[in-house]
Structure 1
Amino acid sequence: MLNLAIVSPFIIALIVPLLYKSLKRVHTGWFVLIVPIVLFLYLVQFIPSVASGEVYIYEVPWIPSLGINFTAYLDGLSLILALLITGVGSLVILYSIYYLSKERESLGHFYVYLLMFMGAMLGVVFSDNLMVLYLFWELTSISSFLLIAYWYHRRQSRYGAQKSMLITVTGGIGMLAGFIMLSTMMDTFSIREIIANVAGYTDHALFIPAMLLVLLGAFTKSAQFPFHIWLPDAMEAPTPVSAYLHSATMVKAGIYLVARFTPVFGGDAVWFWVVSLVGMITLFWGSFNAVRQTDLKALLAYSTISQLGLIMSLLGIGSAALYFDASNAASAMYSIAIFTALFHLVNHSTFKGALFMVVGIVDHETGTRDIRKLGGLMTIMPVTFTLAVVGSFAMAGLPPFNGFLSKEMFFTAVLDVTQLSFFSIDTWGMLFPIVAWIASVFTFVYSMILVFKTFLGKHQPEKLEKTAHEAPIGMLISPVILASLVIVFFFFPNLLGEYLIKPGYAAVMPTFVGVEGYDTQFNISAWHGFNTELLMTLGVVGFGVVLYQLWPKWEGVYALFPRKWTLDNLYNRSLLTLENQSTNFTNRYMTGNMYHYMVYIFIAILVIVTGVVAYTGAISIDSSNDAPISIYEGFIAAVMAVTALSIPFAKSRLTAILLNGVLGYLLALFFVFFRAPDLALTQLVVETVSAALFLLCFYFLPEWEKEARKPRIKVMNAIIAVSVGTLVTLLALSVQNNRFFDSISSFYENAYELAGAQNIVNAILGDFRAFDTMLEVVVLLIAGLGVYVLIKLKPKKEERGQDVEGE
């Protein structure tokens, strides 16, 4: 069952610490590796049936009264992501076995976090319920936070983990608000039901706000501009984490969310413009900034941002097809962008995963990732160099690698945008191919930098921390497999397209399944003749070579962007300002003075409750049904009032404590008058214990501050006390005349039949509320013991004097 596939990584994560402690001679990764391999093989068996149009639903009731069930839904889209999560996860764990030393690293923690993340990602892509999806969504943020901060002794690791969590969790909370809006509109948490019934709600007032909030969650998670700033700092994580989270899985969660909700919001102009433009801006900005990086992982981080922007823009462009009827010829043309997005999603996971592992090998075997210190590694690390060429050239969009195919299809999609005549795009349509081409040029440049600056040129052993050498075979297996897939997907793209990409497309664009030309529009070919796309590619290569050769002459352009105006600096300054201001604000009211705290609490009660009562007109007093007040009750009430009014004007703490005790004992007399001796006895005990505690504290308190004896303070105390007392009294009197439910007292009238008791109070305390009463007695016992211990431990006066002298 799919539900078990989601839960199994969490179950194994509970066992990992035991394995780590008991099997110290064997690397823990070998046992953890079994989990993703088994899950991958389990999911592979669904490929033929899903390719033929089957979907699978497994539901486990969770909170059925609220419509929240643990529903796992497997279709073409979720299958693509699940295979990446488990397939790349298997290769990453295999890679980590050789990358992380079992002697120097806390592998128990690492693999627990990694399995938590794997289970959370599977939960995201399989969940049909909005609330369950959100649960797993935030679990990915928490587990990625732990993975990024794995080397917590490093300041930058802690900073990167905090940054990623703040940004992604903030977006996740916005996404939750969008989910609640969707469920409010359509009265369901099921994504399938929302997709089926969305047509009647596109004009709803909450439709656009829900859309924007869902996109906020997707953009923060998939590092779209301007939320991309967390991804470069997350590179402080170990390289296996970067290869898994930041190339193949976590950052793809936002892509998945946009693809999943395209049938809901696609076709709307706001969705088209926001998704497309954010994707294009991210594509350009990521590629532009990748060129200037000197750290290999930072370069890959910005390249990942750029590639995610490319996929996001394709999803936005493809949503335009939903504007037309499914049988319209234009629909097929624009919907190809969705197919291309899914195709490039898979391609990117293969070549970028391989590149992250290559960079990890370079770092592992040379001790540095600084491009300025590297060079001449081609002959020393020939296998790693070959893998770098395959991954980088695929990223640059060169044949014979899979990135070339999806890049050509991307050019086709942005050229098709220029033919759109709706969404007010007529004027701005040319910007899409222009920005795409410029970003592709920068992509070519940074791909060449990665290969040639690292592996060609002069070798500089004196700048390396280690003597460079080729990685062990075990560390090369995973990137070799991924690099092989890069080439295989180029020569056999339609095998991938038929069995994985096409079913994924059907899940994103269900209304297009079965229309005329559906089966023929997904043919992937490496050669389409001499067309505009090929000319754009040739221009990218030619102009990219020129820029690479002239890099020293134009790198100064980056100086035009002062660091103090960068988004990173804005984030850091905003965070620092918030911390400073919150500290100042907290210090203003957290004075350490109990008197101040009580004043704040009572004033807040007065303002909030009085405001609500004034707004609702809730207070209404009717004394016609009240019992008459006897002379004894009136006399005691008057004495209590005088006592209470005297407390604010007491001249010492001792006087105030005694007056407060008088109030408590007078209240016990009321219980005697009302024939409740049990309550009276309880009140006497509690009041005695409270008075003893007050006196005990009084013994250690410093001299009463002079400010407390000022007339101004006393008047304010009296005003607050009288106001709160009046408000509570009015509320209590009003409650008697606002009964919304029948009294339960009639149930206790049968105390003799139900509990064999002739005293209703005893029956309530001893039978109906037996456990509650027992716990109350235990609390009183603990309080009494505490008072006794404090009194017995009270130091003598001479001992206190010695302590003072010692200080």
Structure 2
Amino acid sequence: MYTVNIAILTPFIVALFIPFLYKRLSAIHTGWFVLAVPVALFAILASYIPAVANGETFYSSIPWLPSLGINFTAYLDGLGLIFALLITGVGSLVILYSIYYLSKERESLHHFYIYLLMFMGAMLGVVFSDNLLVLYVFWELTSISSFLLIAYWHHRRQSRYGAQKSMLITVMGGIGMLAGFLMLSSFAGTFSVREIIGGMGDYASHALFVPAMLLILLGAFTKSAQFPFHIWLPDAMEAPTPVSAYLHSATMVKAGIYLVARFTPVFGGEAVWFWVVSIVGIVTLFWGSFTAIRQTDLKALLAYSTISQLGLIMTLLGLGSAALHFDVIDNQSFYYSLAIFAALFHLVNHSTFKGALFMVVGIVDHETGTRDIRKLGGLMTVMPVTFTVAVIGSFSMAGLPPFNGFLSKEMFFTAVLRIIELPFFSVETWGLLFPIIAWLASVLTFVYCLILIFKTFFGEHQPEKLEKSAHEAPFGMLVSPVILASLVVAFFFFPNVLGEFLLKPAYGAVMPAFIDAGVFDYQIKAWHGINTELLMTLGIVGLGLVLYRSLPRWVGVYSLFPAMLSLDRLYNGALISVERRSNEITNRYMTGNMYHYLLYIFLVILGLVYTVALTTGALSFNVSNDAPISIYEGILAAVMAITAISILFAKSRMTGILLNGVLGYLVALFFVFFRAPDLALTQLVIETVTAALFLLCFYFLPDWDKQKHKTKPKLLNGLIAVATGAMVTVLALSVNSNRLFDSISAFYENAYELAGAKNIVNAILGDFRAFDTMLEVVVLLIAGLGVYVLIKLKASKGGRDLEGK
């Protein structure tokens, strides 16, 4: 079953053909061809829903580097399926939306859709990969493709800045995650995620268990914009709205959520995991909602609301992991594990209402020319369909009925209230902070949802402040947000269809023990009677309305947070400081003087080699098996030494070149003594050509100016030369005296039988190393072409034509 592997590769394969389709069928919007990819993948993946709902999983593997335990292994279970359906389903709606949002006359569409398909394939690779290193490859591909998408409008400075910022932060976290993966695989003995989860009981006592956990969480937090790494997400809003709706609401930012959910069975029973994930999540939830209120740009408001909602999901995953701390799988422990179910439910809900809201903001921007709340207002009558979708999405995000966000928000309140009852982790003391912070963050969420609706669609219409005459979006642009808004309502009235076929299998992938024990028995309900959760919701509405009405009176509280101490200012300062210090350090050793560069290289090599040799005792000599040195070889070696030393005292370039040539010809004589006439002939040819090239090069060099080029310290040069020569000699003797393996020359002794060649050297070059030799010839060809081009360019610009024309 290679369907999943093919699903991962399909977007990459189709991306290869987009440039050709773009040119051949320029009359048609490229998006129509691309749309078929996610639609087809969604249909194929949806066909697995019944089987996965029955507890089946699908596994396939294509060998890649089997000797290293690295294979292109795909694994489809409930968790991977729910993410894949979001990737392809929302991807289909985003591409349909982009067809009407991006003009084929003004935009470079082939670039946009290539990047988008790259991202789609990379995300599918992340959620389906069973091999840690393959997962990491796709993980970084999401960072690269998102960088290209954010910088799509590269003529804008802020787009380039936002792309760079997201790349630096997410890739930094990704490198940390890679280190965590390597640690995890080292003590688990495998790269397979399934096998690691299967042996999870044997890891907790390992010394690398907690470091691996924290490094993996670093990758998850940076990708999912958790505090304090959230600062990249608002700047990424410079991307086109289809990118924001896809990457920054439904998919890329959910990659970190996926990673935490996938590794919860491995690390979830540890108190460190519980506290780190829960605290980072709840802080992100509050800070995102608090900061969203002060934004005047609609996409910036949605960016911080996304940060807040991601914090909510992360908090639920952290709280739900507490269920794994129970020794017995029963109804009590299952009671706490429902936070995981709530996290998965809100994951889907967030993708629907936030995707719709991003598209709404894109429509407002597209049809009015601005996203500035201060210039908007009164659009309800001008854009009634857009207003309706905005109300559904905003009130769902605020957690009001009859929208799906209400259901998962109530489950969130239940989870934070239950945490007070936990008998471990010292939650009895600090657990009360979770429901308090969660409630306050929800109040602020309600406030910024009111800002989005009332500041944009109510009040006085201000056409004089708009860049365009406001009007409703075309039908094609409304289809995608309307579908998402419809799902928001449908999931409220029929939540258990989603729960039974998608959420329960995904929950089973994160909490397999509870499914295996048969304790899962939960139905999503909108009404639970008059309880604490409902009272918290009523309090949110009441206090939220008061805060919104009195917003001008208390909004000044944001001025208490000095801009100099913001995380953005810290990031920018660190970036400028690193660049400045790097330039200072680079300018100190990049002097433009070749002598300095050679000096640094030789000193570093000498220091490393001699330090390692002396501290490890690696040097030892055994010359008992060496061949005797004849008098002729001794005389030849002495003549070579005298010739080499004479080069140092040469008074002219010509003398130095001739002495260097003599040295090369003496080496050829050594080959003759060693009965290798072919090597001797090769050496003679090379030495002759080299001498000719030296003479040609020196002919064009300017005359040596002794005043301009001061004499270098001869003592230092001599010491470095002697030390380098001694190092090479000692290493050669030591290596020859300590052979750890049999000589490879025995393999080539059968050259005639293996290759039909009577000359062993020719056999090595032409058969055994055929590809190596071919590539060396290609390198020489490329170098020759480069030299030829430079000569022709010099002649065409009035220089001396070396061909004499």
TM-score range, shorter chain: over 0.9
- Given the superposition, is the C-alpha separation of residues 341 and 716 from structure 1 closer, same or farther in structure 2, using an over 3 Å criterion? same
Identity of aligned residues (%): 77
Does the Cα contact within 8 Å between 2:282 and 2:437 map onto a contact in 1? yes
Question: Which residue matches 1:111?
Answer: 113
Question: Which residue matches 2:426?
Answer: 424
SS in 1 for 2:555: helix
Does the Cα contact within 8 Å between 1:708 and 1:714 map onto a contact in 2? no
- Given the superposition, is the C-alpha separation of residues 375 and 788 from structure 1 closer, same or farther in structure 2, using an over 3 Å criterion? closer
Question: Which residue matches 1:164?
Answer: 166
Cα distance per residue 1:276-308 (max 9 Å; x no partner) = 000011001111110000000000000000000
CA distance in 1, matches of 2:766, 2:64: 36
- Given the superposition, is the C-alpha separation of residues 790 and 55 from structure 1 closer, same or farther in structure 2, using an over 3 Å criterion? closer
Q: Residues 136-215 of structure 1: matches in 2 within 5 Å? A: 136-215=138-217
CA distance in 2, matches of 1:700, 1:218: 59
Cα distance per residue 1:607-629 (max 9 Å; x no partner) = 11112212221211122222222
CA distance in 1, matches of 2:785, 2:223: 54
CA distance in 2, matches of 1:611, 1:662: 35
Question: Which residue matches 1:310?
Answer: 312
Cα distance per residue 1:664-709 (max 9 Å; x no partner) = 2222222222232222222222222222222222223334354898
Does the Cα contact within 8 Å between 2:331 and 2:519 map onto a contact in 1? no
CA distance in 2, matches of 1:477, 1:312: 31
Aligned residue identity for 1:547:
L
Aligned residue identity for 1:674:
F
Question: Which residue matches 1:625?
Answer: 625
SS in 1 for 2:71: strand
CA distance in 2, matches of 1:790, 1:526: 76
Q: What is the Cα deviation at residue 354 of structure 1?
A: 0.5
Q: What is the Cα deviation at residue 12 of structure 1?
A: 1.6
Q: What is the Cα deviation at residue 425 of structure 1?
A: 2.1
CA distance in 1, matches of 2:406, 2:774: 75
- Given the superposition, is the C-alpha separation of residues 656 and 585 from structure 1 closer, same or farther in structure 2, using an over 3 Å criterion? farther
CA distance in 2, matches of 1:585, 1:784: 36
Q: Residues 24-173 of structure 1: matches in 2 within 5 Å? A: 24-173=26-175
Q: Does 1:560 align with 2:553?
A: no
- Given the superposition, is the C-alpha separation of residues 789 and 557 from structure 1 closer, same or farther in structure 2, using an over 3 Å criterion? closer
Q: What is the Cα deviation at residue 148 of structure 1?
A: 0.9
Question: Which residue matches 1:668?
Answer: 668
Question: Which residue matches 2:449?
Answer: 447
- Unpaired runs of 5+ residues, structure 1, are 802-807
- Given the superposition, is the C-alpha separation of residues 601 and 529 from structure 1 closer, same or farther in structure 2, using an over 3 Å criterion? same
CA distance in 2, matches of 1:268, 1:286: 27
CA distance in 2, matches of 1:376, 1:784: 69
CA distance in 1, matches of 2:766, 2:484: 71
CA distance in 2, matches of 1:625, 1:707: 54
Question: Which residue matches 1:19?
Answer: 21
Aligned-pair RMSD on alpha carbons? 2.6
- Given the superposition, is the C-alpha separation of residues 42 and 783 from structure 1 closer, same or farther in structure 2, using an over 3 Å criterion? closer
Q: What is the Cα deviation at residue 800 of structure 1?
A: 7.4
- Given the superposition, is the C-alpha separation of residues 708 and 197 from structure 1 closer, same or farther in structure 2, using an over 3 Å criterion? farther
Question: Which residue matches 1:573?
Answer: 573
CA distance in 2, matches of 1:757, 1:328: 75
Q: Residues 198-597 of structure 1: matches in 2 within 5 Å? A: 198-515=200-517, 517-519=519-521, 522-597=522-597
Does the Cα contact within 8 Å between 1:326 and 1:511 map onto a contact in 2? no
Mean Cα deviation higher: 40-49 or 361-370: 40-49
Does the Cα contact within 8 Å between 1:327 and 1:516 map onto a contact in 2? no
Aligned residue identity for 1:388:
A
Q: Residues 687-766 of structure 1: matches in 2 within 5 Å? A: 687-704=687-704, 706=706, 713-749=713-749
CA distance in 2, matches of 1:432, 1:386: 34
Aligned residue identity for 1:682:
T
Does the Cα contact within 8 Å between 2:170 and 2:222 map onto a contact in 1? yes
SS in 2 for 1:611: helix
Q: What is the Cα deviation at residue 761 of structure 1?
A: 5.0
SS in 2 for 1:335: helix
Mean Cα deviation higher: 270-279 or 493-502: 493-502
Does the Cα contact within 8 Å between 2:72 and 2:129 map onto a contact in 1? yes
CA distance in 2, matches of 1:46, 1:652: 81
Match of 1:9 among 8, 11, 18: 11
- Given the superposition, is the C-alpha separation of residues 525 and 468 from structure 1 closer, same or farther in structure 2, using an over 3 Å criterion? same
CA distance in 1, matches of 2:500, 2:783: 73
Q: What is the Cα deviation at residue 654 of structure 1?
A: 4.0
SS in 2 for 1:687: helix
Does the Cα contact within 8 Å between 1:648 and 1:717 map onto a contact in 2? no
Mean Cα deviation higher: 242-251 or 543-552: 543-552
Question: Which residue matches 1:805?
Answer: none
- Unpaired runs of 5+ residues, structure 2, are none
SS in 2 for 1:123: helix
- Given the superposition, is the C-alpha separation of residues 170 and 101 from structure 1 closer, same or farther in structure 2, using an over 3 Å criterion? same
CA distance in 1, matches of 2:757, 2:244: 70
SS in 2 for 1:421: coil
Aligned residue identity for 1:173:
I
SS in 1 for 2:428: coil
Q: What is the Cα deviation at residue 648 of structure 1?
A: 3.8
Aligned residue identity for 2:154:
Y
- Given the superposition, is the C-alpha separation of residues 633 and 792 from structure 1 closer, same or farther in structure 2, using an over 3 Å criterion? farther
CA distance in 1, matches of 2:778, 2:497: 71
Cα distance per residue 1:424-462 (max 9 Å; x no partner) = 222111110111011111101110000000111111111
* TM-score of the pair, normalised by structure 2: 0.94
* TM-score of the pair, normalised by structure 1: 0.94
Q: What is the Cα deviation at residue 569 of structure 1?
A: 1.2
Cα distance per residue 1:694-752 (max 9 Å; x no partner) = 22222233343548986652222111111100000011111211112222444455556
CA distance in 2, matches of 1:270, 1:513: 25
- Given the superposition, is the C-alpha separation of residues 778 and 502 from structure 1 closer, same or farther in structure 2, using an over 3 Å criterion? closer
- Given the superposition, is the C-alpha separation of residues 643 and 154 from structure 1 closer, same or farther in structure 2, using an over 3 Å criterion? same
Cα distance per residue 1:499-534 (max 9 Å; x no partner) = 211111111100111436422xx2222122222112
Mean Cα deviation higher: 453-462 or 706-715: 706-715
Cα distance per residue 1:397-435 (max 9 Å; x no partner) = 111111111111111111111112211222111110111
Cα distance per residue 1:70-110 (max 9 Å; x no partner) = 22211111111111111111111111111111111111111
Question: Which residue matches 1:804?
Answer: none
Mean Cα deviation higher: 286-295 or 5-14: 5-14
Q: What is the Cα deviation at residue 660 of structure 1?
A: 2.5
CA distance in 2, matches of 1:785, 1:684: 25
Does the Cα contact within 8 Å between 2:330 and 2:519 map onto a contact in 1? no
Aligned residue identity for 1:406:
S
Q: Residues 641-680 of structure 1: matches in 2 within 5 Å? A: 641-680=641-680
Cα distance per residue 1:530-559 (max 9 Å; x no partner) = 221122112111111111111111111111
Does the Cα contact within 8 Å between 2:329 and 2:513 map onto a contact in 1? no
- Given the superposition, is the C-alpha separation of residues 790 and 418 from structure 1 closer, same or farther in structure 2, using an over 3 Å criterion? closer
SS in 1 for 2:225: coil
CA distance in 2, matches of 1:361, 1:794: 56
Q: What is the Cα deviation at residue 236 of structure 1?
A: 0.7
SS in 1 for 2:64: strand
Cα distance per residue 1:757-787 (max 9 Å; x no partner) = 6665566566666676677788889989999
Does the Cα contact within 8 Å between 1:225 and 1:281 map onto a contact in 2? yes
